[in-house]
Structure 1
């Protein structure tokens, strides 16, 4: 590039990079006195390439959006075409992923992804499919806002979308292309960009250096795009929470190989990102209920599949449980199958002999002897099968005590889940070994801060304790019953579950003798008398209910003081209460202090607190009805 002005206007500054058709320069626009980027396009008189350059310039002038780069000029010089664009300061997303890991948090990643979706949605709404989305075509500015570059192979939705040029070169970057875009025999739909974006986001959230479909050779890459199913991105996240579960489900649907089964548009992805960022859990639930790997807390099944906490405890527990069940069942499959086949043969033979015996009216002693022998043999087979099952259960129980003492939550959780598969073969001696682990899991459900891990811990304790009542020794049944009732009361959605109703009905006499029996009839409603609440056992939850009672009364300094005292008492009784209880206690405390102001000043100062309170309640309203009522009051 010579030092003279290009096109009598643009002064060379430096080379910014190398594109597919030529270099990109930083130049100074002497007319407008600003820096611009000038893209050199070597077309070599190829009419198709020339048309592509002109089409790219046309697209870049048609759309004005802060997240899409703008073009200002196009000219031809010495057989080369030049597109003049706004100069965007920043680094490509490709460089960002390689150099900025751990410098931004998960929420910032979500917002950046949402902004990228906004830009592509604008393109689609203007009838443009990008078709070359990849991290190197997205610049991240200093304020973390994106700029979408390179519309060189973009197509209008009213054009015929062919993927191969006349020269036979593939258009696009295979490791970010959708299967149908690679396969030129298929029509490319608008959601080809959905697949490309999902691939980018998968790489971005997992902080991988390359596309998840990257391979050493072109053929291997194409094969990976067509045939390789990626593990859910949640398995690669270091901090798993409700937001990341929805994100993982979103990418699973966006990475479907079949475009007909894939998310239909980037606009739909944008809406889901907005819901995640805004913590719109109602909308999130609607999306997640449509996927196979999410189970609502209010459902009947116990094997929740939602992962949680910073060490991915839940994912490890689930996968470990599945793996161990497969290993155990595979190991015993041959023996069981052999036993079952042999038993069936025995039963058939016994039936045949008995039929013959009846026909001969019992006169043949030889037949009687054969029947007796076969029955003894059959009983022996059944005994061997039961012995084998008992051995499997013992092997599962042996390490459980060490896992509990070592506070290895995910291992304890996985062992209990596996043991539930064999519940029909539990014996009292097995349940003795499970007591400590059950109590540990229940206590962890109170301490755990991540909502979905909390739910899974509680549901596992709920199911194990409920099943154990029937198999425990007489003196230990009450222990398991009270663990069961404690879960039902502390996590009220489980109280109404069919399994709870069935279990309580089955053990009615035992329930009546329990000190927690009073909890079953109490309901947290506005007309619950204080006297009924005060009769509840002396555990922390009693004082949460009383705090709520005083808060619903006339807004006086005395009632607020009583509400705070009850919350403090609850925390004293159980200092390991989960974060949502502590959040509400702090919220009520601040609200109480504001009541010292004059009425007008109080209402003005409490606006922000009301907003904080609503946010807390929306997150935790599923667990305790207190928060639903508080939310209703805050919305009044």
Structure 2
């Protein structure tokens, strides 16, 4: 629960049936509440659109007003907020929180989500104070990928994937929550309909941190996925993308130390967290395909330098797969059989005989001439 004083007061009734029972989180572009829905008193989570830089509460503590310098921008964003909700409500997946209601009230807009009972993976990690096992992480990974595929299939991006936004339910499922940062995505265009860009440092990829909206895509969520896996498997602070960029080692072991993590998993994380978005997986299917054909564990691991790219003119650029281990080359024999000599290179015996005769004749003739002169 948060102590943000700009949150709605406990007991506030929204849309005539949602009663605020608690404050869950607050960010630069929205606030999230725990509420109950009458008459069944079902627990729900409600996201309120609230721009910290533009909005403030009126004296009643409920109504939202907008700084006059941001009035037009705020009105435009309300419309986009509703459009994004229309996309979010189409997602039906057991690993993604369900969004099912949207309304305007108090000078702003709200949408309603299922409240997920359980604890997020970041809280579990802090309680454990030890890394998760690879078996557990791969179990979570498959569920997370299923959820991301459902989100991406609706041309949406999550854009705030991290352990704190992955809930573990009492029945053992994991579920992606906090879709407030999600954005429309158009292939070849990037993210659109921005209601603000919320991000979490160290989990957000370079293109998101830099505000390069046209460069955002599924690969942006995959960078955050790699950071999430790193955090869960090491219990270490995720490095900044600048640290990754400055690490010129082939396996990024300086920026991404991963003791007791298998080579296969290291390869996957380095691939996901490539600072070059074009060299990350481009779709969930890319990752699933790699997981179905992992590198053999008994082979030498060779990781290509992710900063080196060779472009072939006229060849379509394809997403780079994580480098797979290559077997050691079979050494060539140090000694080679002698190279056959051509018949033309052999001396002829007959030629040798003629040469000897010519030498003898020359010697005799020379001797005769010398004696005649004397």
Q: TM-score range by the shorter chain?
A: 0.5 to 0.7
Residue in structure 1 matching 2:279, options 258, 261, 267? 261
SS at match of 1:157: strand
Is 2:183–2:192's contact at 8 Å kept on the other side of the alignment? no
Query: Are the structure 2 counterparts of residues 5 and 287 from structure 1 closer, same or farther at C-alpha, using a change threshold of 3 Å?
Result: farther
Q: Give the deviation of 1:81 after TM superposition.
A: 1.9
Does residue 295 (structure 1) correspond to residue 326 (structure 2)? The answer is yes
CA contact (8 A) 1:90 1:141 kept: yes
1:194 aligns with 2:196: no
Deviations 1:275-317 (A, max 9, x none): 56xxx969x9999997667333xx43xxxxxxxxxxxxxxxxx
Q: Counterparts of 2:116 and 2:211 in 1: how far apart (Å)? A: 34
Describe the SS at the equivalent of 2:96.
coil
Deviation at 1:82, TM superposition (A): 2.0
Bigger RCO (CA 8 Å, 6+ sep): 2
The correspondence of residues 200-279 of structure 1 with structure 2, limited to 5 A, is: 200-208=228-236, 210-213=237-240, 223-224=242-243, 226-228=245-247, 230-231=252-253, 235-238=257-260, 240=261, 244-273=262-291
Shift, 1:8, TM fit: 1.9
- Does 2:159 correspond to 1:131? yes
Unaligned runs of 5+ in 2: 1-8, 52-65, 305-320, 338-374
Aligned partner of 2:147 in structure 1 is 119
Show the counterpart of 1:359: none
1:150 Cα deviation (Å)?
Answer: 2.6
Task: Determine helix, strand or coil for the equivalent of 1:23.
Answer: strand
1:498 Cα deviation after fit: 5.2
Question: C-alpha separation between the residues in 2 aligned to 1:35 and 1:16?
Answer: 13
Q: CA–CA distance in 1 between the matches of 2:42 and 2:323?
A: 53
Q: Does 1:82 find its partner at 2:113?
A: no
Match of 1:181 in 2: 208
The offset of 1:19, in angstroms, is 3.8
The residue that corresponds to 1:35 in the other structure is: 43
The count of residues paired between Structure 1 and Structure 2 equals: 287
- The structure with more helix, counted as a fraction of residues: 1
Question: Do the aligned partners of residues 164 and 245 (structure 1) sit closer, same or farther apart at CA in structure 2, a change above 3 Å counting?
Answer: same
> In 2, Cα distance between the equivalents of 1:51 and 1:79?
13
The question of whether the paired residues in 2 share the 8 Å contact of 1:181 and 1:188 is answered with yes
How far 1:112 sits from its partner (Å)?
0.6
Kept in 1, the 8 Å contact 2:31–2:50? The answer is: no
Q: What is the DSSP-based 3-state SS (H/G/I as helix, E as strand, rest coil) of the residue aligned with 2:78?
A: helix
Say whether 1:172 aligns with 2:199: yes
Bigger share in strand: 2
Aligned residue in 2 for 1:550: none
Kindly indicate whether residue 179 of structure 2 is the aligned counterpart of residue 161 of structure 1. Answer: no
Q: Structure 1, residues 52-82: CA drift from partner, whole Å, max 9, x if none?
A: 4324422320110011111121122211322
Distance in 2 separating the partners of 1:53 and 1:137: 20
2:266 and 2:301 map into 1 onto residues whose CA distance is: 15
- Preserved CA contact (<8 Å) 2:157 2:183: yes
Between the aligned partners of 1:225 and 1:52, the Cα distance in structure 2 is: 35
Residue in structure 1 matching 2:125, options 97, 103, 128: 97
CA gap of 1:62–1:36, structure 2 versus 1, over 3 A, is same
Measured after TM superposition, the shift of residue 96 of structure 1 is 2.6
Q: TM-score, normalised by structure 1?
A: 0.40
Deviations 1:144-182 (A, max 9, x none): 42221233332323284369979xx86423422222333
**Which of 14, 19, 22 is equivalent to 1:14?**
22
Pairwise CA RMSD of aligned residues? 3.8
Aligned-pair CA distance for 1:120: 0.8
- For the residue of structure 1 that corresponds to 2:34, the secondary structure is strand
**Rg: which structure is higher?**
2
2-structure distance, mates of 1:106, 1:233 = 20
